[in-house]
Structure 1
Amino acid sequence: MSFYTSISGLKNAQTDLNVISQNIANAETTGFKRSRTEFADIVAGSAFTNPRNIQGIGSTVQSITQNFAIGPIEQTGSALDLAISGDGFFQMKNGATGDALFTRNGSFTLDDQGFVTDGSNNRLQIFAIGDDPATATPVDAQIPATNAAGFEFAGVVVGEDGVVSATYADGTTDKIGQVGLATFLSPTGLKQVGSSNWEVSGLSGAPTFGYPNEGAYGGLISGALELSNVDIAEELVNLITAQRYFQANAKAIDTATQISQTIIQLRS
């Protein structure tokens, strides 16, 4: 019994080490959110078992929970670098499948067609000026290369309220649309898909949309990025704790082995 109990502890310690390693590896990943491993004990007994004599039979990983605390904000100076100063996610459209993605990584650029994209060619979704984000359907953010008068694109500005404005060589400004933000009833239920992106799952619930600086939605900071919320010092302490957890379970197996060998030698 003690072997299997300690083996479950070893497996859990390995999972904890893997999660901590993932956090440390992404300490410099823009928009990354750290995770933590939560454990639960396992007990077994029947209706005829004396509750005072029930023994535990090990532990299990209950969940790997994401922490969506806001990370440090770094100024970059690029107008299309956007950081969210509160709650909310940018909605993106997968460039290959068209599926909806959600991210806190606001490192955006323009592609050769004027679409606002991330490093994986996913397109930022925005709403038309005046649309109700609760009912309207977002569209790809695209900045025309020329305005109605034929003058070339000169620059872009994103306001705290999410309004995307493009300026042209003749000095005119056109409002392209407004960035909406998504929130979830249970963001820890979002499914990680890599590149600081998440997808909706049955645990997260459906997204609710609103504009920056309205209600529970945070404002936008143009020319800045939200960095990873990983605290290296905290993770190193957690790493040491997980290592000791692993060593303690390994020692318990070693002790049980020695006891078994002693009993075998006595019987022989």
Structure 2
Amino acid sequence: MGFQHGLSGLNAASKNLDVVGQNIANSSTIGFKSSRTEFSALVAAAAAGGSNSGMGVTASSSQQFSQGVITPSSNPLDVAINGNGFFCVQTTKGDIGYTRMGNFQLNSAGDLVTANGEKVLVKKLDANGNPLDGAPEGINLSSKGIPAKATTTISASINLDARTAAGTSRAASGTSLQAYDSLGIKHGVSMYFEKDPANANTWFIYDGLDDPSAQPTPIVRTPLATVSFDANGEINQVTALGTGVTQLTDPIGFSFAFTPDPATGATTPLQISVNLNDVTQYGNAFNVSKLSQDGYEAGTFVGINVAEDGSLMASYSNGVTRAEARLAMATFINPQGLMPTSNGNWLETRESGQPTQRTAGIGGAGSIVGSALEESNVDLTAELVAMMTAQRYYQANAQTIKTQDQAFSTITNLR
């Protein structure tokens, strides 16, 4: 039996050296997870009444999914997972692979791929930024553009000077901004405030100034609406609506029809809601702290960054940044049961269980770190020590075979 013991020991030691060599070889591989050798004794069961006898050892390896060091990079498409989970990719064979290797890039066709050319899978989003139902799929950014969006909402944060005397020209309390029609063409939208001579807490809102000198007909504007404030300077309500103007209660404001130049071919009129929730009347100078609108012109794709939840935040030439999709992430009940393949991927097996689709940072999934990569979790110093130990182990098992052979020779040489 001594030969069997030594032979099994040599096989186990060789397996151990293979595992150590694999770890050392991949100590610089992004997202690589090390393995360790696990030894088990082999025992032969004897017949009834006898005693069991050892037959040697067997060795197997198990993957260690401990966290690797996360290192910042200058590539905005580099991503790392801090915690549990895997990115989903479509392998060259068409399988769904799972990887921790996050050095992504765009190929010549504009597809988001891994460094090995495999498509990165994402979850498409609805208008509210929530993932749509359905299986993850690849994304192409080569023809990504963003169409023009007509202005639908204007939000104002303005203080009207409570000290303004009745009869003061509305030109002293006016502002304007650029709104967009359905083709992305800019149009000026103005808003002027004139104090009601009969009520100190009421102001008329106009969309322009009067022009008595205009020919052939002088321009005399009528108020779009009337806004009132309480004794504390907080907005109270909007009333006395003009023609075609409707009242808003949540938020406080009004909606009106804006007609752009019909010669442009844009949709006309535009229905624009004006949010006045943040308009106040205090004893401070007239001040516009914020005036914004939600329209924009068409834009072309400029670049992309990755948010903490895995959202692909695309930037466009018109200054808009929005989430185009979200990186698909999966977790497994038993990640050690995954089958490793080439290109830093793992495949689902019966032992791993089926993948659960996750959003980064939710439900046990790790968070996404953009412009960073997860290094291999191999401890090179520990592996070098393990290699020396494995070498001694191999030599010792070889020595048992040599010693057994010498003993066997002594017996055969007896006369």
Question: Aligned partner of 1:240: which letter?
Answer: M
Tell me if structure 1 keeps the 8 A contact 2:310–2:359: yes
- How large is the Cα RMSD of the aligned pairs? 1.4
Report the Cα offset of residue 151 of structure 1: 3.6
**Which consecutive aligned stretches of 4+ in structure 1 deviate over 6 angstroms post-superposition?**
none
Q: TM-score, normalised by structure 2?
A: 0.61
**Where does 1:1-268 land on structure 2 (aligned, <5 Å)?**
1-51=1-51, 54-61=52-59, 63-94=60-91, 96-129=92-125, 130-131=130-131, 136-149=134-147, 151-266=299-414, 268=415
Quick check: which has more Rg, 1 or 2?
A: 2
Map Cα deviations across residues 16-66 of structure 1 (whole Å, 9 max, x no partner): 001100100100000000001111111112342433xx32011112x3100
Report the Cα offset of residue 144 of structure 1: 4.2
Q: Percent identity?
A: 38
Q: Which residue of 1 aligns with 2:275?
A: none
What are the ranges of 5 or more consecutive residues in structure 1 without an aligned counterpart?
none
Map Cα deviations across residues 178-212 of structure 1 (whole Å, 9 max, x no partner): 11310011101111111211111111111001101
Change (3 A) 1:233 1:49: farther
Task: Work out the CA distance in 1 between the residues paired with 2:373 and 2:299.
Answer: 31
Q: Greater CA deviation, 42-51 or 63-72?
A: 42-51
Question: Aligned partner of 2:62: which letter?
Answer: T
Task: Work out the CA distance in 1 between the residues paired with 2:45 and 2:66.
Answer: 40
Report the Cα offset of residue 172 of structure 1: 2.0
SS in 1 for 2:363: coil
SS in 1 for 2:323: strand
Tell me if structure 1 keeps the 8 A contact 2:146–2:300: no
Tell me if structure 1 keeps the 8 A contact 2:146–2:316: no
Task: Work out the CA distance in 2 between the residues paired with 1:49 and 1:81.
Answer: 65
Tell me if structure 2 keeps the 8 A contact 1:142–1:176: no
Task: Work out the CA distance in 1 between the residues paired with 2:353 and 2:14.
Answer: 30
Report the Cα offset of residue 168 of structure 1: 1.6
Task: Work out the CA distance in 2 between the residues paired with 1:164 and 1:88.
Answer: 18
Task: Work out the CA distance in 1 between the residues paired with 2:11 and 2:17.
Answer: 10
Map Cα deviations across residues 57-106 of structure 1 (whole Å, 9 max, x no partner): 11112x31000001111110211000001100000012x33210100000
Equivalent pairs counted in the alignment come to 261
SS in 2 for 1:6: helix
Task: Work out the CA distance in 2 between the residues paired with 1:182 and 1:11.
Answer: 36
Whose helix fraction is larger, Structure 1's or Structure 2's? Answer: 1
Tell me if structure 2 keeps the 8 A contact 1:186–1:204: yes
SS in 2 for 1:10: helix
Task: Work out the CA distance in 1 between the residues paired with 2:45 and 2:365.
Answer: 48
Question: Aligned partner of 2:45: which letter?
Answer: G
Whose strand fraction is larger, Structure 1's or Structure 2's? Answer: 2
Task: Work out the CA distance in 2 between the residues paired with 1:114 and 1:43.
Answer: 58
SS in 2 for 1:178: strand
